[in-house]
């Protein structure tokens, strides 16, 4: 096991990165490591980086410098996508190794204070990296079922950093789900880099929807009503077919909430992006069909504004799409030039100010739709909230709305359980809730 040590870990980027950091955290804990929230106390530090935007790379680089400055004796490992995309940026004081994403799993192979060799020969690299978890720092753990992407969108650096699409064996997914449910977790996020490209061997796992049906069949008899699955970001082309609609309608454990990687509402922009085959109209039609069995649903999206050549007409097309869809929130990004991508060499690069202005208009529209959604949530007779491990009064309901327990309400509960509550009012971007069964529920707005 080696001598006890303290480690500090910081994660940037996607939920898959959060999952992989957790797997490394558990490995280091098994070796006698104790995590600290103060990098000045750490013998070892991990910066698990992201490269989706230039700002993400810059943030990871600044954090690496900060750790090296306040703790010159710490061994710093920089891993992940930025370590793949811009390794030279992390050759800094205190950095013991810059580990590209494809080799991040080597941190599961030895003691972090003793490791000296971080190279992996191609023949020694597993098809699906052996990350696995038994717990999570937050109330809603992530399960990674897929990695990499073979789509090759013009703006995206992820195929260069994470490689082509690979899928995790179904038996491993089921076993990890079972472990997390047994450990007391009651909301599990099913995540991957591109879930549309999940393909497992065997008749029971041909695609992602087959996997979801298998998971629901396996766990719903015992856990329906007591635990739930939430889906991570989906390619819009996934939701336009009958398999998606039949699966979502039939599954008993899936939250009535989707997050779509829409990117744009303009077909001409989508074509320049090299996106998969979907149209704003086909997505709107699919969502309208979902509303038949999910009359209330949460709907989020990733939107990328200011793509090379984006015109005022194309910007309006995205705004028009978002007006039609029942959006409840969106992650809106101005386009960021990523060296090595096709988009970086395209004509028509917009000035930064113009990219930001396009994004601001989309944010303003979505913010108004979010405000209306929160008010509509007050009409729900009840909801189930998974409260955060770090803050027992904050959490998300099944529609992915942020909730906070009323200040004078009883917050005693078992860790991670779903708490049945009634909504009371909206404060800012929060729904203030109270546990069912407490007095004065006659004041609940839906009962007036």
**In the chain, what percentage of residues exceed pLDDT 90?**
84
SS3 category, 424: strand
What number is the average pLDDT over the span 281-293?
96
Whole-number Cα distances in Å, 286 to 228, 237, 243, 248, 381: 23, 10, 11, 12, 27
Please report the pLDDT score of residue 122 as a whole number: 79
Please report the pLDDT score of residue 125 as a whole number: 82
Please report the pLDDT score of residue 112 as a whole number: 95
CATH architecture for the domain at 5-115: 3-Layer(aba) Sandwich (3.40)
Please report the pLDDT score of residue 279 as a whole number: 92
φ/ψ of 341, rounded to 5, equals: -95, 160
Radius of gyration from C-alpha coordinates of the chain: 22
Provide the strand spans (E) within 41-176: 44-49, 75-80, 95-100, 142-147, 166-167
Please report the pLDDT score of residue 192 as a whole number: 96
Per-domain residue ranges for the chain?
5-115, 142-377, 383-447
Task: Compute the mean pLDDT over every residue in the chain, rounded to the nearest whole number.
Answer: 92
Cα 260 from Cα 231, distance rounded (Å) = 10
What number is the average pLDDT over the span 168-183?
96
- pLDDT at residue 396 greater than cutoff 80: yes
- pLDDT at residue 39 greater than cutoff 80: yes
Residues 294-324 have pLDDT tens digits of 999 999 999 999 999 999 999 999 999 999 9
Would residue 116 be called left, alpha or beta, if left means φ above 0 and alpha means ψ between -120 and 50 degrees?
A: alpha
- pLDDT at residue 273 greater than cutoff 80: yes
Provide the strand spans (E) within 225-325: 228-231, 257-263, 298-305
For residue 156, which of 46, 261, 49 has the smallest C-alpha distance? 261
Please report the pLDDT score of residue 354 as a whole number: 97
φ/ψ of 344, rounded to 5, equals: -60, -25
Please report the pLDDT score of residue 2 as a whole number: 66
The more confident residue out of 390 and 7 is: 7
- pLDDT at residue 151 greater than cutoff 70: yes
Cα 216 from Cα 222, distance rounded (Å) = 10
- pLDDT at residue 161 greater than cutoff 90: yes
- pLDDT at residue 448 greater than cutoff 50: no
The more confident residue out of 163 and 444 is: 163
Whole-number Cα distances in Å, 379 to 409, 422, 440: 20, 10, 17
- pLDDT at residue 33 greater than cutoff 60: yes
Residue 447 — pLDDT band, cuts 50, 70, 90? Answer: very low
- pLDDT at residue 147 greater than cutoff 50: yes
**In the chain, what percentage of residues exceed pLDDT 70?**
94
Tokens representing 7 are 């480690």
Residue 3 — pLDDT band, cuts 50, 70, 90? Answer: confident
* Rounded (5°) CA angle 143-147-153: 130
Cα 442 from Cα 6, distance rounded (Å) = 51
Q: Which of 112-121, 260-269, 425-434 has the lowest mean pLDDT?
A: 112-121
Please report the pLDDT score of residue 210 as a whole number: 95
Contacts with 246 (C-beta within 8 Å, 6 or more apart), sequence order = none
Please report the pLDDT score of residue 444 as a whole number: 40
What number is the average pLDDT over the span 325-339?
95
Cα 199 from Cα 194, distance rounded (Å) = 11
Please report the pLDDT score of residue 131 as a whole number: 96
Cα 225 from Cα 255, distance rounded (Å) = 11
CATH architecture for the domain at 142-377: Alpha-Beta Horseshoe (3.80)
């Amino acid at each position: 096991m080696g001598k006890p040590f303290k480690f500090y870990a910081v994660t940037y980027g996607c939920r898959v990165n959060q999952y992989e950091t957790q797997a490394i955290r558990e490995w280091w804990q098994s070796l006698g490591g104790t995590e600290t929230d103060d990098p000045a106390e750490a013998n070892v530090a991990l910066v698990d980086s992201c490269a989706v935007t230039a700002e993400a790379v810059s943030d990871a680089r600044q954090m690496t410098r900060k750790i090296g400055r306040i703790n010159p004796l710490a061994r710093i490992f920089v891993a992940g996508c930025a370590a793949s995309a811009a390794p030279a940026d992390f050759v800094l004081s205190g950095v013991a190794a810059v580990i590209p994403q494809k080799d991040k799993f080597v941190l599961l192979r030895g003691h972090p204070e003793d490791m000296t060799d971080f190279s992996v020969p191609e023949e020694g690299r597993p098809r699906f990296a052996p990350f696995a978890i038994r717990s999570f720092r937050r109330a809603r753990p992530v399960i990674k079922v897929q990695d990499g992407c073979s789509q090759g969108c013009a703006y995206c650096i992820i195929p260069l950093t994470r490689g082509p699409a690979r899928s995790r064996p179904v038996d491993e997914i089921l076993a990890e789900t079972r472990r997390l449910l047994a450990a007391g977790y009651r909301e599990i996020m099913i995540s991957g880099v591109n879930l549309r490209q999940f393909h497992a061997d065997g008749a029971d796992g041909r695609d992602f929807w087959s996997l979801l049906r298998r998971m629901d069949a396996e766990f719903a008899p015992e856990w329906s009503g007591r635990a739930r699955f939430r889906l991570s970001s989906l390619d819009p082309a996934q939701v336009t077919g009958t398999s998606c609609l039949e699966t979502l309608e039939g599954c008993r454990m899936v939250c009535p909430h989707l997050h779509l990687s829409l990117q744009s509402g303009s077909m001409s922009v989508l074509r320049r992006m090299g996106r998969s085959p979907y149209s704003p109209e086909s997505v709107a039609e699919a969502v309208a069909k979902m509303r038949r069995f999910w009359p209330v649903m949460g709907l989020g999206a990733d939107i990328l504004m200011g793509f090379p050549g984006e015109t005022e007409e194309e910007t309006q097309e995205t705004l028009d799409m978002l007006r039609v869809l029942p959006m409840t929130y969106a992650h809106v990004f101005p386009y960021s030039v990523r060296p090595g991508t096709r988009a970086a060499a395209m004509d028509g690069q917009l000035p930064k100010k113009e990219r930001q202005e396009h994004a601001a208009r989309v944010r303003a529209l979505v913010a108004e739709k979010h405000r209306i959604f929160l008010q509509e949530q007050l009409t729900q007779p009840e909801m189930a909230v998974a409260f955060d491990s770090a803050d027992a009064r904050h959490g998300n309901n099944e529609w992915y709305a942020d909730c906070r327990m009323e200040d004078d309400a009883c917050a005693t509960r078992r860790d991670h359980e779903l708490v049945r509550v009634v909504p009371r009012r909206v404060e800012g971007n929060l729904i203030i809730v109270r546990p069912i069964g407490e007095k004065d529920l006659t004041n609940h707005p839906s009962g007036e």
